[in-house]
Structures are given as structure tokens and as C-alpha cells.
Amino acid sequence: MTRKSLDQTLGFLRSLDRTASADDVARLLVSELSDLGVAHVMAGTVPTRGTPSRQQNGHVLLNTFPSDWGRRYLARGYAFKDPTVRRLCTNTTPFAWSEVRDSYPDDPVARRVMDEAADFQLRDGITIPLMTLDGQIAGFSVSGERLVIDPADRAMLHLIATYAFGHLLLMRGQGASAVAANLAPREREALQWAAEGKTDWEIGTVMGISTHGVDFHLRSARSKLGSANRTQAVAVALRRGLII
């Protein structure tokens, strides 16, 4: 039973390695977890109390929750009332939303957040608390009308959430550096494959372009990085965190 969940986790990690954007990661997660009843995923770091709603968006790494719900949530400052967010700050064990629905009986808004979420098909959910290297509290939530999750699934979900979050953080760091270096997405991708030791022909096959196309992207990346050859371009890109 748990062996099957472990194998599914390892399969997910292989697919995760092939994602190139947060949207890819979201699609992969929803398709991987649909058997458990998961329809939506959200991941982000917890903003400190009082962060303006405009800046709260910067804390979101991934979000497929209905956009109407997202707007309402931000406009009403629910992030600081939401029982699932409050629980994140005090506990590091994954929890079901049903466990926290009534945790704040003195605060009617807390219960209202949960009830209104249910109106947006976010009735059932599990949140996995996380903590980043620099000590930020973070959370990863999956939700749907009704989740069907046994203990082995929950353990698997814990791992999948952790890896997806780590991958999103690495991509975000890379993305920021890539913008600074003015590298185009295809140039970055070709460099990434070059760093894995692939030939132009192999890179062309995985990227669905010709060998000439690969050569073009790598030459362009080389010139933007001020490098004399491909080896140096890969080394510079690694050092600057443009590829992983």
C-alpha cells in the first residue's frame, strides 16, 4: 500500500523535473491528485500581519483557486482571519480543513471564511505547513468538493507538496536572475540541457526544434553572458543561478 504511494511520489518527482513554469507545476499537480478529489491547489508564504493586499500577491507561488474567491479573499483581508493560515503559524503537521473549521469560536469571521470557501467548491481541503530555508512560514493547500485521502495518500501529499514548493522557489530564483541577464526562456532551456551534457541533436529533440535552432539559441545565450564558448556559458549560468 505505502509502496504504491512511494512509487507514485517518485513518478511525480520525475514529471516535476520536466516542468518549466508555475503553470506547468499547477497542471501536473491537479492531474496527479485528481484521483484524491483534488480540484485546486495553492501554495505561498504567509505574509506578516498588516501586509497590504497588493503585496500579498507576491507571497503566492501557485494558485488555481477560483479567481472570484481570490479577489474576495484579498479585498476582505481574509489571509489574517483564515483558520488554515492561522494554524500554519502554530503547527507543522499537515491538517484537514475540517479539523480547524471551528478552532476560533470567538472569531465569527474565521468560520465565515471557511463557509464562503465552500460556496466556491472549496469545501474540503488539506494544508501542509512548510518552512523555507530563511525561516519563512509557508503553506501548501489542496482542495475540492470532497477529498478521498487515506493515511498513505496524506504522507504522499506531504512529500509532493514539499517538492513542488521547493521546485517553485528554485524556479522563481532562476526566473529573477534570468530576467536580469535578459535571457529568453528558450535560451535558458537550451543552456539547462547543455549543462546536463546533452548534444545539440538531443536538445533539439526534447525542445522540439532543429539542431540549427539549438545552435542559434545557445549562441545568443553565449553572447548575452559574455562567454567565449559553450562550456563557459554553462559555467557562468550555473554560477549566476540562471540554471539549476
Partner 1 sequence: MIHIVTPANEHNYREEMEQVWRLRHDVFVVEKGWTDLTRPDGREIDQFDTPHAIHFLAIEEERVVGYSRLLPTTRPHLLSDVMPQLCEGERPSGYDTWEWTRQAVARSHRARGKAVNPVSLALLSGIVEWGMGNGVRQLVLQMPTLYLLHVVQLHFRARPLGLPHTISGEDIIAATAEFDERTLARLRTVRGDGASVLAPTYSYLAA
- Nearest distance, CB of residue 159 and partner 1, angstroms: 6
Q: Does 179 bind partner 1 (CB under 8 A)?
A: no
Which of 166, 211, 219, 227 touches partner 1 by CB under 8 A?
166
| DSSP-assigned letter for residue 101 | T
Q: Does 70 bind partner 1 (CB under 8 A)?
A: no
Cell of 82: 483564515
Strand-pair category, 40-45 with 124-131: unpaired
Q: Which residues contact 100 (CB under 8 A, 6 or more apart)?
A: 83, 84, 86, 87
Compare residues 9 and 103 and give the one whose CB is closer to partner 1.
9
Q: Does 177 bind partner 1 (CB under 8 A)?
A: no
Which of 162, 223, 231, 232 touches partner 1 by CB under 8 A?
162
Strand partners, 143: 40, 125
Contact call for residues 117 and 35 (beta carbons, < 8 A): no
Which of 149, 169, 206, 207 touches partner 1 by CB under 8 A?
169
Which of the stretches 25-33, 48-56, 132-140, 142-150 binds partner 1 when contact is defined by CB under 8 A?
132-140
Which of 36, 130, 190, 242 touches partner 1 by CB under 8 A?
130
How far apart are the C-alpha atoms of 233 and 237, rounded to whole Å? Answer: 6
Nearest to 29 by CA among 131, 122, 167: 167
Cell of 156: 504522499
* Residue ranges binding partner 1 (CB under 8 A): 2-3, 5-6, 9-10, 13, 92-93, 129-135, 137, 152, 155-156, 158-159, 162-163, 165-167, 169-170, 238-239, 241, 244
